[in-house]
Structure 1
Amino acid sequence: MNQVRTTRIVSPLAKQLARPGGRTIADAQRLADAGLQRHRAGVMDDIEGLIGRLEALCAAATPEAQGRIYGLASDLVDLAGFFDTGPLYTAGYSLCDLSERMQTTGVWNWPAVEVHVKALRLIHAGGCREGAESDVLLQGLRSVLAAFTPD
């Protein structure tokens, strides 16, 4: 009868990981966060540009503009998610939700969209800080969003 033999193969990566030294997870995370923070100003400028484009779409208020709101709001949320933008992320997500509900129901309300875009502008201008002002803005956006709940 044949005997089964098990051979353990140790890869070069496993050998390298087993060696002492290197960075701790905390150090790696700290360095990654520091690297990400170097891009914050550029990303905030990009968010500024997206808000400007959303404002232009609101001013145009055309059917073509309706179709672009969700995409720009989604881009804003994607960028805001990389940093601690608190209320800005929440307001952007609310605009995405509102736009989707309006597209689904076929009922478009530009003033509701404008309220969201103006809230984004105010939150961005305020440094994306959480506080009483941003809480009031977000509560208002929740009220606007609640009015567009599909049946």
Structure 2
Amino acid sequence: MTEARTLKIKTTLARQMAQPGGRTIADVERRANERLERHRDDVMTTIAGAVTELELVVAAAAPGSEPQVYRLASSLLDTAGFFDTGPLYDAGYSLCDVADRMQAGGAWNWPTVAVHVQAMRLILSGGCKADATTDALLLGLRSVAAKARQEA
């Protein structure tokens, strides 16, 4: 009976990884953040557009447009997640949660959605900065969301 032999094969990638030099993780992260920051203005314009679309959907409050609320709010979250939008992200997440629960429970409440959208507009116009005003807005949204959860 022959004995099994183990061969170590060194791949090209392994040889390249073993060579000294290259970029540090901190440098790569810094460069990535710089490149991402170049898109901030465009992203904030896109977010403002999503909030405007939400305002139009809420103003119309047309039957059958309920799924648009979740779609627009989740799109806003997808975009806002790349940047530090603090309270805006929290308000958008709350709207997604409320819209999902209301739609699943069949008890849609447009005023609840309107309050969330108005809060997002205020937060956006304030530069998405966390302060006492946005803390109060988020606290109010939490209580509105809790009531909506009970109703759904």
Deviates more, 1:1-10 or 1:120-129: 1-10
Letter in structure 2 aligned against 1:59: A
2:91 counterpart of 1:91: yes
Matches within 5 A, 1:121-136: 121-136=121-136
Give the CA RMSD over aligned residues: 1.0
Give the drift of 1:96. 0.3
Deviation at 1:3, TM superposition (A): 2.1
1:66-81 to 2 correspondences below 5 Å: 66-81=66-81
1:21 aligned residue: 21
| 1:146 aligned partner | 146
Offset at 1:78? 0.6
Instruction: Tell me the matched-pair count.
Output: 151
Q: Please give the secondary structure, in 2, of the residue aligned with 1:10.
A: coil
> Residue 135 of structure 2 aligns to a residue in which SS?
helix
List runs of 5+ in structure 2 lacking aligned partners.
none
3-state DSSP of counterpart to 1:32: helix
Q: Which runs of 4+ in 1 moved over 2 A?
A: none
Q: The residue matched to 1:147 in structure 2 has which SS?
A: helix
Q: How does 1:30-69 map to 2 (within 5 A)?
A: 30-69=30-69
User: Structure 1: any 5+ residue segments left out of the alignment?
Assistant: none
Separation (CA, whole Å) in 1 of partners of 2:22 and 2:96: 43
User: CA–CA distance in 2 between the matches of 1:63 and 1:33?
Assistant: 42
1:34-60 Cα offsets, whole Å, 9 max, x none, are: 111111111100000000000000110
Provide the identity percentage. Answer: 56
What amino acid does structure 1 have at the position aligned with 2:138? L
Q: In the alignment, what sits opposite 1:103?
A: 103
Structure 2 CA distance, aligned partners of 1:26 and 1:63? Answer: 51
In the TM superposition, what is the alpha-carbon distance from 1:70 to its structure 2 partner? Answer: 0.3
TM-score scaled to structure 1, two decimals? 0.97
| Aligned mates of 2:148, 2:104 — CA distance in 1 | 10
Distance in 1, matches of 2:45 and 2:20, equals: 43
- State the alpha-carbon separation in 2 of the partners of residues 116 and 148 from structure 1: 12
Partners of 2:85 and 2:128 within 8 A in 1 = yes
Distance 1:38 1:64 in 2: 38
**Structure 2 CA distance, aligned partners of 1:23 and 1:30?**
11
Alpha-carbon separation, structure 1, partners of 2:111 and 2:141: 12
